[in-house]
Amino acid sequence: MSGAVGGEARGGDPGARWRPWGLLALGLLSASSVLAAAPAAGAMSRDEKRRLGSQVLEMFNHAYSNYMEHAYPADELMPLTCRGRVRGQEPSRGDVDDALGKFSLTLIDTLDTLVVLNKNKEFEEAVKKVIKDVNLDNDIVVSVFETNIRVLGGLLGGHSVAIMLKDKGEYMQWYSGELLHMAKELGYKLLPAFNTSSGLPYPRVNLKFGVRNPDARTGTETDTCTACAGTLILEFAALSRFTGASIFEEYARKALDFIWEKRQRSSNLVGVTINIHTGDWVRKDSGVGAGIDSYYEYLLKAYVLLGDDSFLERFNTHYDAIMRYISQPPLLLDVHIHKPMLNARTWMDSLLAFFPGLQVLKGDIRPAIETHEMLYQVIKKHNFLPEAFTTDFRVHWAQHPLRPEFAESTYFLYKATGDPYYLEVGKTLIENLNKYARVPCGFAAMKDVRTGSHEDRMDSFFLAEMFKYLYLLFADKEDMVFDIEDYIFTTEAHLLPLWLSTTNQTISKKNLTTEYTELDDSNFDWTCPNTQILFPNDPMYAQSIREPLKNVVDKSCPRGIARVEESLGTGPKPPLRARDFMASNPEHLEILKKMGVSLIHLKDGRVQLVQHAIQAASSLDAEDGLRFMQEMIELSSQQQKEQQLPPRAVQIVSHPFFGRVVLTAGPAQFGTDLSKHKAGTRGFVATIKPYNGCSEITNPEAVKEKIALMQRGQCMFAEKARNIQKAGAIGGIVIDDNEGSSSDTAPLFQMAGDGKNTDDITIPMLFLFNKEGNIILDAIQEYEAVEVLLSDKAKDRDLEMENMEQKFLENDSHKQSSDETLRSQDPSLVSQQPAEDENSDTVHLDSLSVDADTDSVSISNQDSYILEDHEASIQETECTKLNNQPQEQTEMETDSDSNVNWDDDKVQPMESILADWNEDIEAFEMMEKDEL
């Protein structure tokens, strides 16, 4: 291709050097040749693939048309209340709202998705709307990172496919680079953020006033995340090469150079948060998930798009460190950059789901298959990937905002292996989205994957990425109107043409990397592979890697890291983990000695763990001891939280909701335990008189065999329950009398008893905050007969009744008015994070104490860090037990009465141990404040 559109320079075919990398970077290896080797028995038929592709199109139409009808020109759709989310008009969601800039975010983010899905006419109309309606000069503070990947990337992706369609001669013949002009305008509005001595950008910028200006309301920040500063090069370089203005690429390169210089030299890892002025690491934990993820992605893809070898060498250096320290197949666990053998967390976040796809680009297929399979097992257990989950695959943070990273990796793995298994994975994703997330006005994010409750949000990335990857997963080459292999995906899945690699190359490519980097040659084995030999000829290759992992997520008693590693037979025996420790196991006690940990008995009958670093066999054993003590503290905290009751669900199952509306409710510590009654309690609701339920019910005929609604206040909850039970109610819902209260902002509420025996209360009781309760009250006003289901978590919606209703509506004249009535409701499905997830994963204790007859332990760590006074219990659970043991078998020497002989050359000086650990203590304290 040649010529110019709207002033942008364009280059020709970059040649053979880049073509293979284009194939690899998109994961688009020859699908036909790979599929030919796949076993016929497991292959998906062409008709089934087409059916699923058509289903993806229908789902996209449902989400996109509802955004355009109910939300545009707002930034995002609120699918439960069927209206647009306008920043400042809705309650603040904190940093999440920094993506909203009153610039029709979802439409811009979706532009090139329309073309990928062959919706060229809709694309042409959307571009005209963006040109006509979108204003980039708003007085509003936005995230530099989010605005870059979503808006700047969306405009550039739209421009890329617009000029492609124009060249084809049917669509966009009027187009003269208007999207590129808008992208350039936005690029200049982002540049003030880079006004720092380091070159790292401020995390936020005012679109109208920049930073530091008194009207800007930004410019005082000192910290930014590594991904925030390191995920600019693709969009900024593309803007420079499209327009010929080199300043954008120069600024993005300077930021990347600074991060590279500040990496921890001994581990070659980077931290999560960095000071934009000094370059000091503020948070020193390192992983491949939130806060770092796309930094690694952009190093590799910058090499692909720009052809600068230094980016590839940097990526390979980091990748070598990741595989040494962070990768614990199939897990990816955060570590400390200064002490990379020490895990910084016992949980993983969902953003790391992109990493298997990046490993496909790297050519490292085995660990990609392993991690992807582990993630898929978690999804099969919870229907969606929780925002964070523990190493034994329990929910840590229960939200799921319809993130696309797992679908992205699924697409790449299918294109790399041709294994039809990944088509079945994609089919599962489609089914779960339709079954659990689809609502009348779009798709709603999950507030809690355990209860099935929703959140009133549909982020722009859902349209920009999810449907793009799912459609490409099932599409054949002939289904596409252009060759996807000519483009590279940004982190937001926007398309940038590979011919940019030879266009406007105004940047020096001086290689600064190898001056001080020594790498194992094997690290480069798969740097630029020949696709003919990349994968073994054995068509069962991917399956053979997945097979050992098929039961890695056990429903009844999840296996920990140690058990996973042992089952895989990989590496040396892992260190002792707190969750596996048994005081009755002599081998475990011996390991404690080696780590400098003593188990002693207190006079009150309790036992106590005490660590003395100087008594550890080596500095590494001392580190293991610190990790073990920290894990034991976290385990205690987590199990203490689990004693609290989880949230319950109130699901509206009558017309026109049919189970789509799920409200998260607080449980009662009395009455029917819904977790033991899987069918739940189903019935129509009725408002009682008096509404407070504090005296005999005066309308028992209206309440009998129904679920009673009542107001909070004026008497004990148990008294309300007894009164409605006497009136014949089969359940009760207490609605908060605090106007405007919502589980969006308030912690989970549990209704306590009255201090007396409550065994006489045999009906279920649930609590709804004011906002959620009003949803039911409004539904009663509109429809009179409202039926709900009280349960431990949401059930499948009533498809049979829904289908019957749909047929009725199609033959009845009031169909349109019913739809409009439904949209007028405010089914804001909200859920509060359950108690076990509210606090951070690290708890500082002075002692961890339990009854002696359970043989549990208490912890103190006299020589490592100062701990606050706190006491928590370890309860014996199904999966974690501290077995009973006679006292004489568990006694160990204290620091003053030790007969253990330690080799002098293995003992590290106390000052050195404490100095090293001070850094770790700071990191643990920072992790307490950790947020995605």
Q: What is the pLDDT of residues 102-122, one digit of tens each?
A: 999 999 999 999 999 999 999
Which position has the higher pLDDT, 841 or 641? 641
Structural domain range at position 621: 578-642
- Contacts of range 902-905, beta carbons closer than 8 Å, 24 or more positions apart: 902/615, 902/616, 902/617, 903/617
Which pLDDT tens digit goes with each residue over 92-101? Answer: 999 999 999 9
| 616 shares its domain with 719 | no
Is 491 within any annotated ligand binding site? yes
- The string of DSSP codes covering 833-854 is PPHHHHS-S----S-----GGG
Q: How far is Cα 131 from Cα 647, in angstroms, rounded to an integer?
A: 46
Residues 259-269 have a mean pLDDT of 97
Residues 165-187 have a mean pLDDT of 97
**The token pair that represents 135 in the structure block:** 């204003």
What is residue 718's three-state secondary structure?
Answer: helix
444, 478, 500: which is the final residue of a domain?
500
574 — pLDDT class (breaks 50, 70, 90): low
189 — pLDDT class (breaks 50, 70, 90): very high
Residue given tokens 């700071």 in the structure block = 922
Q: How far is Cα 202 from Cα 219, in angstroms, rounded to an integer?
A: 7
| 685 shares its domain with 612 | no
pLDDT at 273 over 80: yes
Q: Is residue 567 part of a domain?
A: no
What is residue 420's three-state secondary structure?
Answer: coil
| 479 shares its domain with 454 | yes
Q: How far is Cα 146 from Cα 596, in angstroms, rounded to an integer?
A: 47
Alpha carbon of 530 to those of 23, 111, 526: distances in Å?
11, 34, 9
Q: Is residue 325 part of a domain?
A: yes
484, 500, 516: which is the final residue of a domain?
500
* Cα 77-798-734 angle, rounded to 5 deg: 75
Q: How are beta strands 347-349 and 388-390 bridged, if at all? A: antiparallel
Q: Is residue 773 part of a domain?
A: yes
Q: How far is Cα 10 from Cα 2, in angstroms, rounded to an integer?
A: 6
Least confident interval from 1-10, 457-466, 771-780: 1-10
155 — pLDDT class (breaks 50, 70, 90): very high
pLDDT at res. 276:
97
Residue 771's CATH number: 3.50.30.30
Residues 863-867 have a mean pLDDT of 30
Q: Is residue 104 part of a domain?
A: yes
Q: Is residue 199 part of a domain?
A: yes
Q: How far is Cα 394 from Cα 386, in angstroms, rounded to an integer?
A: 9
| 370 shares its domain with 474 | yes
What is residue 332's three-state secondary structure?
Answer: strand
Least confident interval from 236-250, 381-395, 836-850: 836-850
60: left (phi over 0), alpha (psi -120 to 50) or beta: alpha
pLDDT at res. 137:
95
pLDDT at 909 over 60: no
Least confident interval from 20-24, 95-99, 622-626, 687-691: 20-24
pLDDT at res. 640:
52
pLDDT at 674 over 50: yes
744, 768, 797: which is the final residue of a domain?
797
Which pLDDT tens digit goes with each residue over 342-381? Answer: 899 989 999 999 999 999 999 999 999 999 999 999 999 9
**For residue 643, what are the contacts with CB-CB under 8 A and spacing of at least 6?**
875
Which pLDDT tens digit goes with each residue over 886-905? Answer: 333 333 333 333 333 334 34
Least confident interval from 382-386, 580-584, 828-832, 849-853: 849-853
Which position has the higher pLDDT, 245 or 741? 245
Q: Is residue 618 part of a domain?
A: yes
pLDDT at res. 617:
84
Q: How far is Cα 725 from Cα 895, in angstroms, rounded to an integer?
A: 61
**For residue 187, what are the contacts with CB-CB under 8 A and spacing of at least 6?**
152, 236, 239, 245, 248
pLDDT at res. 804:
54
pLDDT at 852 over 60: no
Active site residues: 146, 293, 387, 405
Residues 218-230 have a mean pLDDT of 96
CA within 13 Å, CB half, 308: 27
Which position has the higher pLDDT, 654 or 105? 105
| 372 shares its domain with 355 | yes
Strands laid side by side in the 857-860 sheet: 597-601, 607-611, 857-860
Residues 201-229 have a mean pLDDT of 96
Q: How far is Cα 755 from Cα 94, in angstroms, rounded to an integer?
A: 39
pLDDT at 601 over 90: no
Residue 308's CATH number: 1.50.10.10
| 352 shares its domain with 465 | yes
What are residue 187's phi and psi, to 5 degrees? -55, -45
What's the chain's average pLDDT?
79
pLDDT at res. 208:
96
Residues 315-320 have a mean pLDDT of 97
| 150 shares its domain with 283 | yes
**For residue 69, what are the contacts with CB-CB under 8 A and spacing of at least 6?**
none
33 — pLDDT class (breaks 50, 70, 90): very low
Q: How far is Cα 335 from Cα 228, in angstroms, rounded to an integer?
A: 20
**For residue 371, what are the contacts with CB-CB under 8 A and spacing of at least 6?**
329, 330, 331, 332, 352, 355, 356, 359
How many domains does one find in the chain? Answer: 3
pLDDT at res. 682:
93
| 235 shares its domain with 314 | yes
What is residue 78's three-state secondary structure?
Answer: strand
**The token pair that represents 334 in the structure block:** 């955060």
810 — pLDDT class (breaks 50, 70, 90): low
**The token pair that represents 824 in the structure block:** 């007028």
Residues 780-808 have a mean pLDDT of 75
| 613 shares its domain with 698 | no
pLDDT at res. 792:
87
| 349 shares its domain with 475 | yes
pLDDT at 907 over 80: no
Number of H helices, E strands in the chain: 31, 30
| 122 shares its domain with 178 | yes
| 463 shares its domain with 598 | no
Q: How far is Cα 370 from Cα 355, in angstroms, rounded to an integer?
A: 11
pLDDT at res. 742:
84
pLDDT at 296 over 60: yes
pLDDT at 824 over 60: no
Q: Is residue 673 part of a domain?
A: yes
Q: How far is Cα 336 from Cα 341, in angstroms, rounded to an integer?
A: 8
Contact 826, 632 (CB under 8 A): no
Q: Is residue 5 part of a domain?
A: no
Contact 160, 112 (CB under 8 A): yes
Alpha carbon of 454 to those of 387, 393, 409, 446: distances in Å?
14, 22, 25, 4
Which pLDDT tens digit goes with each residue over 614-631? Answer: 788 887 788 788 878 877
Q: Which of 12-16, 554-558, 877-881 has the highest mean pLDDT?
A: 554-558
